[in-house]
A and B are shown apart, each in its own frame.
Chain A
Amino acid sequence: EAGVAQSPRYKIIEKRQSVAFWCNPISGHATLYWYQQILGQGPKLLIQFQNNGVVDDSQLPKDRFSAERLKGVDSTLKIQPAKLEDSAVYLCASSRTSGGRSFGPGTRLTVL
């Protein structure tokens, strides 16, 4: 079984620029999550999709972050415009309805 795929693995941008991350979950996993992990902290859930509907986006800074999951498979997370404090690893995970989450390798974002 192929794991969760994410791209790019690394991204360096300047503040106020835009950036997008892509995630392809494990086949058959209906639930997809985006987490933000700041250095030295645990992952924080940004948004959770069930198929292509949003289940929880309470911690997503909606003034600058957006995410979509078209057709209930792949997902894209966008930041526009980026701030210095957005520097973090962005982790995508997927799961069946009640299983443990499988995480992707993450995208390490550095905002200068």
Chain B
Amino acid sequence: AQKVTQAQTEISVVEKEDVTLDCVYETRDTTYYLFWYKQPPSGELVFLIRRNSFDEQHEISGRYSWNFQKSTSSFNFTITASQVVDSAVYFCALGGGYQKVTFGIGTKLQVIP
């Protein structure tokens, strides 16, 4: 069975602080994908990134960076110099088998001006 754990249910940071959202996953699949989605107050899920299980590397895209470590089954997400517009619920998700995707419960990020 697949499982995604986002231990942080809610985080508050002051604008311009860096923040890391944790994600730990469990799967028996040898090939799988990991995702991060953002859900702003408007409700629409916005795709941020997908990594496959063979692509274990740290990645940076603008203010966002991701750290995928198979040894610890973690796929953490960092926002550098946070902004108020980053306030949203962030979901980590795991896809295995024929793309069945399991979502975590989400981490609500509040960036305070």
Contact = CB atoms under 8 A, between A and B. Distances in A.
Interface of A: 31, 40-45, 48, 55-56, 89, 91, 93, 95, 98-106, 108
27 contacts: A31-B99, A40-B105, A41-B105, A41-B106, A42-B4, A42-B91, A42-B93, A42-B104, A43-B103, A44-B103, A45-B101, A48-B99, A55-B98, A56-B98, A56-B100, A95-B99, A98-B99, A100-B47, A100-B49, A100-B50, A101-B35, A101-B101, A103-B44, A103-B47, A105-B42, A105-B43, A106-B43
Interface in B68-113: 91, 93, 98-101, 103-106
B47 A102 contact: yes
Contacts of A44: 103
Contacts of B49: 100
Given A41-B105, A42-B91, A45-B100, A108 B47 contact: no
A106 B91 CA distance: 16
A55 B95 CA distance: 14
Contacts, number: 49
Interface string B14-44: 0000000000000000000001010000111
Interface of B: 4, 35, 37, 42-47, 49-50, 91, 93, 98-101, 103-106
Given A89-B43, A104-B44, A105-B43, A42 B99 contact: no
Contacts of A99: 50
Contacts of A31: 99
A91 B93 CA distance: 15
A101 B44 contact: no
Contacts of B50: 99-100
Contacts of A45: 100-101
B105 A42 contact: yes
A45 to B, nearest CB: 7
